[in-house]
Structure formats: structure tokens, C-alpha cells
Structure 1
Amino acid sequence: MSISALYTGTVVHTRMRPVRHRLRYRMMTLLLDLDEIPALARRLRLFSVDRFNLFGFAERDHLVPGAGSLRAQVEAALTAAGITPDGGPIRLLAMPRVLGSVFNPLSIFFCHARSGALCAVLYEVNNTFGQRHSYLIPVAGPGLPIRQECAKGFYVSPFMDMALRYRFRLIPPSERLGVAIEVRDATGPVLTAGLAARREPLTDGALLRGFLRHPLLAAQVLGAIHWEAAKLWGKGMRVRPRPPPPAEPVSIVLPGRVA
């Protein structure tokens, strides 16, 4: 049975300070077991790897293009965090390419041991300036929801300061999926964002239905980002200076260490 699946649900962003602002939109995303991707491309007529199709996947859309396979790069980050990879499943939650285009504000790699236990989560962030950075955080224990946090080290929204912290709350993919992110400063929450989604088997029929609901997925996401940015500008928000991205592509977040 394939672990890879399609998830459809709703994304909600709420900014609390210094102005109140909220947005909500429907979202389609895929959970791809890295080891299953070649077989998925052979089985599905509407999904391809590294070639044009209705839906597609390309490794260059994630982590550092040309620096090795996604599995090799994730396992190198695990090793840097003191976790010895044993060949366990690595599953990527991300939006697919749709008619050759994609933009993922956030992709999540769920890193499992061979036993099936979730040992770490890698959060990959893209901004609209063509930059990318990731945070790898070991999972502390088996309980749910998974709660993690780290310091912000990468410029994302032009209206957000850098001296912030992220708090993550995850329900890993099963029949349902939950991702909640709270962005905090020294006085409390500034913004919250969340995705709640339901699993569907990854079939050509499900992909076609997803396309009919979201025919221009990348344009929808980028359009929403820029439209909401224009509204924030109209509410008086102003752009913060953009620092250079971190020197390393992945911040390793360990207990007692600031990312």
C-alpha cells in the first residue's frame, strides 16, 4: 500500500499585531514518500518526475539543487543533528508542480527511523525573493501533537521583523493532517498560520479533481501572497530591510541551542 497521498484542506493566516489581518483559502498538497516517487510516476498518468505533465515533481524545487539527492541531503542534516540515519522513510509534504509551475512557502520533510518512529522534522521555507532556507528539529518524544520551536533566521514576509521565534504544532499525516505555526516576539504572538487537511488516495482521478479545484495552484498562492501584501501596505505596514540569507542552507536546532 502506498504511503504517498493527496491532502486537501484549508489554510488560515491571522496577523494580530500591529494591525489585524486575516486570510483563508483552500489548499491542495501532496505527501510524497521519497522512495515511492519513481513508482508513482510510472503508475500515474497525470504525475511525472522531471518532465512536463498536469502534475509533476522535481528535486531541484527543494533543498540545494545539485548538492545530492533529497534523501542524501536530509540524512546529512540528520547526522549534523546527532541522529544516525538508518534508511527509514522520509516523506515530503509539499505542493506539486501544476502545468510546470510551483511555489511552496513551506514544505515539510517528516524523517522517520526504520522502526517507523518520527525522529525529526525539516521545515523548508521559500520567500518570494527566490531564496530558501530550512530548519531541522529533532522530535523529542512520541506524544501528539508534536511541539517544536526555533528562532527565525531567514527573511520571509517583508512586513515581519527578524527578531522573532516560531512555534510549531504538528499532527503528522495520517487520515488527517494538522500544521500550526505561531510567530512570536518578546511580548507574545504576532501571527498564526495553520493548515487542516484530509487524506485522499493518490490516484489519477483524485489528481484530476484537484486540478479542477486548483487549476493554477502556484499562481493562486503567489497571487494571494502579493494581494494580501498590498492590503497590509494599505493598512500602514511598511517593508523591513532584507538581510542576507544564512550562510548554511539548514539550521540545525538542538535543545539549548538557538537556530
Structure 2
Amino acid sequence: MPHDPPPALPQLCLGQVRHARLRPRAHAFSYGIYYVRLPLRSMGARDFSARLISRNGANLLSFRDSDHGDGETPLLQWIDALLRQQGVADAQGEIWLQTMPRVFGYVFNPVSFWFCHRLDGALRAVVCDVRNTFGERHLYLLEQGGAIAHGSELQASKIFHVSPFCQVAGRYRFRFLRNSEQDGERHLARVDYDDLDGPLLQTSLSGTARPLRDGAIAYALLRYPLMTWGVMARIHWQALRLWLRRVPFFSKPHPPQEKVSR
């Protein structure tokens, strides 16, 4: 008689974020980073078992439900309702939320990913929760009407202002990869941006997943002690570098009316 698989466990991923601009000035950088991957159905409303991270409480690392979704509705209820509203009715398997935790109470997440699976384990949809430094956010829903093949390219029209050095035009191209390696499961999210003249930006976020335990958390904190402050500082530092190199600047347009797009 078949047995149900054991519940998925929260993960901590150590890896890198990479960014390359192709024109009009070539500009590239990479930084070490870490993030969490949380199996929301398996976790339910439970807190973490590790002592160095808390759910909805103060700690060295913390995860606040109110930082995600609409800030009020329970996360599973919110994502299930959003998917149904968008015509995705068969994402009833695990929901993995990939995001950065708060570090000493502070976080800024340029993008969080909701990986939504079917009951058979196939990836059904990905919701990309994109935020800018003006306090605005937009959700890009990536889905193809059925299971998403491993590593296949997904696209969405750009309608949300993120960087003043890019127009709100063109398309994003997404690829998500997952491979098992000797030291853990490796994840890669690649997001390339094409403006009206062709490829402009190539970005990726990669990391190797390990169980979210105190030893892994302590190692991450020692290696990147003020990571989330560094994210915001580096955003502004790289923007200053582009401005000094006279890369064209585009003022922020009015925010889009729709909050979810494909």
C-alpha cells in the first residue's frame, strides 16, 4: 500500500546573485547571499524548530507572514485565492515560498518566488513578487495552462518600474532549474530582460539548499552578518555607478493599475 511522502522541511540556501548589463555600458557584479525556501502547506502555521529564526517574532533571523501576500490573509489562503482568480485550479500540491528572511529585524526583498505545484509534484505556476525601492510591488504570474517543464522558458511583459535605468517596456524571460548534488539540492532562478532593442539585462539567483538548522543559520550570519542591509546599500551603490557612467535615466512613471499580470 503506497504511503504519503514525508512533509517537506524548511530550507536555507547559500549562493550568489549575479547581474550583467549589456548596453549602452557593459556593467556586471555578483554578491554572495542566502535565502530561505519554505514549504507552506507542510509548515501550516507552525514556527521553526531552529532556535535562531522565529516566525512572526523577534530573533537573529525572522520570517513575518505579514511581509508577504496582502499582509493580512493567511499565506496559503491568499496564494490559493490568487491562483483561483487567475484560472489556476490545480496547484493543490506544495507551495514553496523563496525569499530572504529579516536579519536583525530588517529586510528588503527585490523579488520573492512562490513555486506552486500540483498534487503529482509537477510545477504548475510561479508567482514572482517584485518590489522596488519606492515601496511599490507587482505580481507576475507565470503559467502555461499545465505542468511547467523543468528549465523551460517563461515570459511576461514588463509593466512595473524597478530601475530608473530601464524603461517600462519589453519582456522578462524566466528559467527555473533544480538539481540534486552531493552537498544538497541546487536551485537556480534566471531572469533576463529584453527591452525594445533586444537583450539588455541578464540576472540570476542561485543557491544550495540545506535543512534550516541552527548550524546553517550561524554559518550564514557569520559569513554575511548584515546581508539585508547590504542588499539595499548595493542597489544604491550600483545605481550611482550607472549614473556616473552616464547610462540613460528614466523617471518613474505612474504605477500600473493592475497588481497581477502574466
Query: Normalising by structure 2, what TM-score?
Result: 0.90
Alignment of 1:192-207 (within 5 A): 192-207=202-217
Whole-angstrom CA distance in 2 between matches of 1:107 and 1:171: 16
Alignment of 1:42-81 (within 5 A): 43-66=49-72, 68-81=73-86
Once the two structures are TM-superposed, the CA of residue 200 in structure 1 deviates from its matched residue by: 1.3
Once the two structures are TM-superposed, the CA of residue 63 in structure 1 deviates from its matched residue by: 2.9
Partner of 1:189: 199
CA deviation profile, 1:165-207 (whole Å, cap 9, x unmatched): 1000111476110111110023310011012211111101101
CA deviation profile, 1:59-115 (whole Å, cap 9, x unmatched): 22123222x122222112211222215642111000111111011111000001222
CA deviation profile, 1:133-189 (whole Å, cap 9, x unmatched): 111111454532131001001100111101121000111476110111110023310
Secondary structure of 2:153 counterpart:
strand
Please state if 1:225 is matched with 2:239: no
Partner of 1:256: none
Whole-angstrom CA distance in 2 between matches of 1:146 and 1:40: 34
Q: State the AA in 2 paired with 1:163.
A: A
Whole-angstrom CA distance in 2 between matches of 1:163 and 1:47: 39
Gaps of 5+ in 2: 1-5
Q: Is the 8 A contact 2:91 2:125 kept in 1?
A: no
Partner of 2:158: 152
Whole-angstrom CA distance in 1 between matches of 2:14 and 2:55: 21
Once the two structures are TM-superposed, the CA of residue 11 in structure 1 deviates from its matched residue by: 1.1
Please state if 1:163 is matched with 2:169: yes
Runs ≥4 in structure 1, deviation > 6 angstroms?
none
Please state if 1:178 is matched with 2:194: no
Whole-angstrom CA distance in 2 between matches of 1:247 and 1:173: 38
Gaps of 5+ in 1: 254-259
Query: Normalising by structure 1, what TM-score?
Result: 0.91
Q: Is the 8 A contact 1:34 1:89 kept in 2?
A: yes
Pick the aligned partner of 1:109 from 106, 114, 118.
114
Secondary structure of 1:39 counterpart:
coil
Once the two structures are TM-superposed, the CA of residue 217 in structure 1 deviates from its matched residue by: 1.4
Q: Is the 8 A contact 1:98 1:216 kept in 2?
A: yes
Partner of 2:142: 137
Task: Check 1:38–1:81 CA distance in 2 against 1; reply closer, same or farther (3 A cut).
Answer: closer
Aligned-CA RMSD value: 1.7
Once the two structures are TM-superposed, the CA of residue 213 in structure 1 deviates from its matched residue by: 1.0
Partner of 1:20: 26
